[in-house]
Structures are given as C-alpha cells and as structure tokens.
Structure 1
C-alpha cells in the first residue's frame, strides 16, 4: 500500500484563540482506513461524516493542579505553553495525539463513517462516539464512554465511569467486549441480534430485556504465568447464539436492552 507521512506540532499558546481546526487526508481514501485519537486530560468526541477526510477540532482549557495553583516563593509567574498536538498519517492510519499534564485538550474528530477507530484517554475525560460503522476500540481511564448509533464491532473499557452503547445495526459477526470497574455497563442491541453472552459482575446485577436461553454459570481459570485463579461467568444466548459478547464489571450493573424496530 502506498504510504504517506506528515506531522504537525502546535506549540503556539492558545490564549486569545482557544480553538484550532485541522484537516488530514488518507493516502488511499478508497481503501480501509483507521483513525486513532489520544489525549491525557480532556474529552474526545468522534462523529461520522460523509467526507473522506478527517477533521479535528482542538479546544484547550487550563487545568489547575495543586502545583500550578501554589504561589511561587520567588514571585515568578508560570507561562502558558499552549497546545501540544501531533498529527500523523501513515499506511492509511491517521493518528492525532494531544494534551499535556497541565491542560485539558478536548478533541472533536469527524471521520468517514466506515473507518476503523481507536480512542484512548489516559488521564481524565469522557468519550462520545456517534454514527461509526467501523471496528472500534475505546478506552477511558477516568471518565464515561457513550457510543451512539454505531454498527461496527466494539471493544470498550471505562475503568472509572459508566459505559453505554446503542447499536443502530450490527454489520459484523466478530466478538465484542464491554467492561467497567466502577460504573454501570448498559448496551442496547437490535431486537434481531444473535449472540452468545459471557457475563460477570462482582458487586452488581445482570439485567436483560431479551429472553436469554441456556443460562449457565461456570468457573474459568483466568490466572497467568501458571497460577490458578478461578472466576465465575454466566453464559447465555440471544436468538439462538452467535459471536461471543463479553460483559465484565466490578461494582456496577450490566444492563442489556432490546432496541425495537420502531426506534428512530
């Protein structure tokens, strides 16, 4: 595949103008594409659009920490260093990395609807994805995840927040996974979905609007490096079974909802 590469570093302080918009093109837009968005502190919103390019809106906000708000003994003032954003295109993958330890960097990214997508927030912030039909990998360390009107396969983990997903349709028979440590996991599937469910929550409930068949609880060894560690999972099927959908939670509920055909 033809390979293109470019990089952009924004280091101009965004004092009077707190917003910047960038546009990036794939080397081969008619081939499979992939978009990766990462930030440390800030929210990431991804929306599908009809264009083949990727549009990134960057909004900078100050982030006060105990260190930054403490007056200096020498009367010197800290100078705002502004945005720190890199944008690369390589092998039909566009990667945007943003953020620093002392600022919130919000990203709103518009991508082709069928593009694959990876979104990661390693510090604090929420993630919203709307209308994407490609494969999605979504991770938030301290924030919630909301996926709306998606149709591609999903692997999503919200460590310290809730996870909600609403599927417009399901176009791929690959496995999916949804997990959280301290928030509810709520996923809405089309009524005709066929899947095998593997579910576990340590301190919550499992709730479903579907009629689940073949509910079986079994112990599995999930240990590594030769160690034994048994965990209990509940298995069930929807509409006769299909690809495996994994649901895991520690202190929240797992809610599986049915989307009616009349839902807009």
Structure 2
C-alpha cells in the first residue's frame, strides 16, 4: 500500500513596514480504509492543537502560521545592512502522511503553527506540544495519549480511554463514555486536574497531590495506604527502607480498572454526571 504524503509550503515575503499576513492552508487527507478506526500522531514544538470529531471519512488539517515579529540576526553586523529593506519570511510548512489509517503530521521546529484538525469520530490520538499552545479535543472516541509541557489540556465530551500529562497548565476532561476495564492516568506538576466521569463508572482510584487537595462527589470507598518497603544497597548496608506515601486509594461502584491521578502543585477534582 502506498503512503500518501502531502507537503504544504506557503511563503509570504513582505517588505519591512508593510502589514504582516499570516500564512494559512487547509488540506484533506484520505484514509486507506475509512470504515476502520484511524490514528492521528503528531508532536510539535511550538503551537496549539485542536482536534474535533465529525461525521466525515477523511482527516482535514488546517494549519496557521502564527504572527510573529521575531528576527534572528546571526551575523550581528548592522552597518552592512544600512539602507537595505528587510524582507519578512512568514512561511508556513507542514507535512501530512497517511499509511494504513495512521495519519502523521509534522512541522519545522522553528515555526509556530496552530493546527485545527477534524477527524472521523472513531479515531485514536497520540498528540503533544511543548511551547506556546494549548491542546483541545472534542467529540472523539478512541484511545488518547495527550501531552503538553507548557499549556492546558482540555478534552470535551470524549469517549474511550485517556492518558494525559502536563507540567505547567491545567487538565480538564469531560467523558461521555469510558471504555470498561481499561486503565487511565492523569498527571500534572502545576495546575488542577479536573475530570468528569459518567456516574456509572466502575474503577479503582489512586490519587496523590503533594501541595493540593482532593475533591469528589462520587461515593469513594477509601482504603488505607500501604507503606512502601524496599531493600537494597545503602550507606548502612543491605537495609530495608520503609516509605509511607500520601496516596489516597479507593473504589467507585465496586471497583474496576485503575485510574491514577498524580499532581504536585494543584488540586485533583473528580466529578460525576
């Protein structure tokens, strides 16, 4: 089966003091087998990612080069450029490839690009960004692995299972349905973790927030924390080491697959609907 490869390059070259024009382009990526579930894989350095499920059979990708006035003077010799006009390079470049219902999207590191993507509703996601953007997902059903280092993660009316993590930004998730018997994990360093589940969910819950509180409206049947005991080499010889960690454990509706919440500087909020 051939790989579909779509590369978009748009270059707007503008003289200094003219109005900047933001490059933007929309492409459609056909799937090898539209009747089967697909997977979107993308990891960008700069920019935001928005993914919405729809009733179509292809992936629609809209990329927008964010306006920027950044100018890198690598040579540092301003006198040699006196009397010349600087040409701004507002280029947009990204690549989309498809093979066996797996769509991969990539963009150059130095460009800040915001993506708005439409996928068929039954679609799995493995998406991440690092700087200058948030991640937003709505109305998608699948397995989702979502990561954002410096921004928020918002998943709205989704179905399936999720693993989500961020360092600096809140996590807000609302489930329409949850895949039974599948473990999930949510972790954060700075910001709240706020997740809403269907009230009928069956799960074993494990929660830790070093500098935050835990809130829920579920009837959570808590269990006593167990001490963690390890044995190994140390300055005192082959000794036992006992550590009691601040984990809250319990079950909802009789228990089920484990759902882990780990936070450092923020609250953990577990809601029912």
1:233: which partner in 2? 247
Q: 1:201 to 1:17 in 2, by over 3 A?
A: closer
Report the CA distance between 1:222 and its aligned residue. 9.8
1:91: which partner in 2? 100
1:167 maps to which of 175, 191, 199: 175
Paired with 1:219 and 1:92, the residues of 2 have a C-alpha distance of: 46
Paired with 1:222 and 1:249, the residues of 2 have a C-alpha distance of: 23
Report the CA distance between 1:98 and its aligned residue. 2.3
Report the CA distance between 1:63 and its aligned residue. 3.8
2:266: which partner in 1? 252
Runs (5+) with no aligned partner, structure 1? 260-264
Map residues 60-209 of structure 1 onto 2, 5 A cutoff.
60-64=65-69, 68=72, 72-74=76-78, 76=81, 77=86, 79-80=88-89, 82-101=91-110, 103-209=111-217
Q: Which has the larger radius of gyration?
A: 2
| Residues matched between the structures, number | 252
SS in 1 for 2:89: coil
- Scaled by the length of structure 2, the TM-score of the pair is 0.84
1:44 equivalenced with 2:49 (yes/no): yes
Structural RMSD (CA): 2.6
List per-residue Cα deviations over 1:207-255 (Å, max 9, x = no partner): 11111103322344799xx9x7954422111111011001000111100
List per-residue Cα deviations over 1:53-76 (Å, max 9, x = no partner): 0000111113455x6489953364
1:54 equivalenced with 2:52 (yes/no): no
